[in-house]
């Protein structure tokens, strides 16, 4: 089915999900909305996060999308269930795919979660993990300094390494075997996070896992785009289309992206 997959995020972080969907499902067309002007969502109230997420959802619905991916952990924690119950198309968040992948990889049952203040405060990962296996031990850590590092493009180098190292210090005593990056911005910091936490810990990126589940659900609903299509992705931002295009081109390693500024 040639209809687009809609992906929404508070900013550019959800591009890590978009990139994985493009890699794992190269026939699919993506329509992406990044609410860059109102990013970050992490410190906002639940009411605001819900309202902003609905704004993006309603914007994409007009394009007859066949699936909606809420590529923002904060928004998933707050409003996934409500949107899922309202729309007739499949709606995926990023929390359960990350949780399921962690349960698949973890043998010791000691699982760490990194996220924004909003995501960690919501306890969404712990609830998701324990709803499937009540015996796991979850260590959750809010990392409020990580999103600004990524949005500002400073996710490589010594400054980022110092911040990550200091933030994860207390987690190293927990002897985790699996660590979930519970924010779609964090995969940009993954090389540093892996280095700091140690090679023996399996680091799970919710982006990769959500792309995989999108494929499972589209296949289950018989609505995968099969055969040789050339997808025409579109990107919408509430902020500067120029800055968005620069970041997106670098991350997705694609030139000539179509980026449009919209009002929500």
Annotated catalytic sites, by residue? 72, 183
The answer to whether 9 is a known ligand-binding residue is yes
The angle at the Cα of 103, spanning 99 to 106, to the nearest 5 degrees, equals 125
Stretch that binds its own copies, among 6-14, 61-69, 96-104, 117-125 (CB under 8 A): 96-104
Q: Is 198 in the site for its own copies (CB under 8 A)?
A: no
CB of 179 to its own copies, least distance (A): 18
Question: How far is the C-alpha of 179 from the C-alpha of 203, rounded, in Å?
Answer: 5
- Backbone phi, then psi, for 75, in 5-degree steps? -65, -40
**39 conformational bin, left if phi > 0, alpha if psi -120 to 50, beta if neither:** beta
At CB < 8 A and 24+ separation, what contacts does 163-167 make? 164/189, 164/192, 164/193, 164/196, 165/196, 167/141, 167/143
5 near 214, Cβ under 8 Å? Answer: yes
- Residue positions counted in the chain: 264
Q: Is 78 in the site for its own copies (CB under 8 A)?
A: no
CB of 238 to its own copies, least distance (A): 30
Cα radius of gyration rounded to whole Å, the chain: 17
Using CB under 8 A, which of 4, 10, 208, 248 touches its own copies? Answer: 208
Q: Is 1 in the site for its own copies (CB under 8 A)?
A: no
CB of 95 to its own copies, least distance (A): 11
CB of 208 to its own copies, least distance (A): 6
Q: Is 117 in the site for its own copies (CB under 8 A)?
A: no
Using CB under 8 A, which of 165, 215, 223, 261 touches its own copies? Answer: 215
Buried b (16+ CB within 10 A) or exposed e, 129-163: beeeeeebbbbbbbbeebbebbbeeebeeeebbeb
Using CB under 8 A, which of 189, 213, 244, 259 touches its own copies? Answer: 213
Cβ closest to its own copies, residue 85 vs residue 263: 85
Query: Residues 52, 53, 55, 60: is their CA dihedral positive or negative?
Result: positive
Stretch that binds its own copies, among 47-55, 145-153, 154-162, 220-228 (CB under 8 A): 220-228
CB of 28 to its own copies, least distance (A): 9
Q: Is 220 in the site for its own copies (CB under 8 A)?
A: yes
| Known binding-site residue numbers for substrate | 9-10, 41-42, 73-74, 184-185
Residues binding its own copies (CB under 8 A): 24-27, 90, 96-97, 100-101, 103-104, 131-135, 208, 211-213, 215-217, 219-220, 224, 226-228
């Amino acid at each position: 089915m040639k209809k687009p997959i809609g992906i929404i995020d508070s900013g550019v972080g959800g591009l890590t999900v978009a990139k994985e969907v493009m890699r794992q499902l190269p026939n699919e067309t993506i329509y992406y909305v990044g609410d860059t002007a109102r990013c970050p969502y992490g410190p906002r109230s639940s009411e605001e996060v819900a309202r902003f997420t609905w704004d993006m959802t309603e914007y994409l619905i007009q394009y007859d999308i066949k699936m909606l991916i809420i590529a923002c952990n904060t928004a998933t924690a707050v409003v996934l269930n409500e949107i899922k119950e309202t729309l007739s198309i499949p709606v995926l968040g990023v929390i359960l795919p990350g949780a399921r992948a962690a349960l698949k990889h973890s043998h010791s049952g000691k699982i760490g979660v990194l996220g924004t203040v909003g995501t960690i405060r919501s306890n969404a990962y712990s609830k998701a993990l324990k709803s499937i296996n009540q015996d796991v031990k979850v260590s959750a850590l809010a990392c409020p300094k990580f999103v600004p590092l990524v949005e500002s493009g400073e996710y490589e180098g010594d400054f980022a390494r110092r911040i990550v190292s200091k933030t994860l210090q207390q987690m190293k005593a927990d002897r985790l075997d699996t660590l979930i990056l519970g924010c779609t911005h964090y995969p940009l910091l993954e090389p540093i996070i892996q280095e700091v936490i140690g090679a023996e810990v399996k680091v799970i990126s919710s982006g990769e896992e959500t792309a995989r589940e999108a494929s499972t659900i589209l296949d289950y609903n018989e609505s995968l785009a099969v055969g040789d299509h050339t997808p025409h992705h579109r990107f919408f931002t509430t902020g500067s289309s120029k800055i968005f295009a620069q970041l997106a081109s670098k991350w997705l390693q694609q030139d000539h992206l179509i980026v449009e500024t919209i009002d929500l």
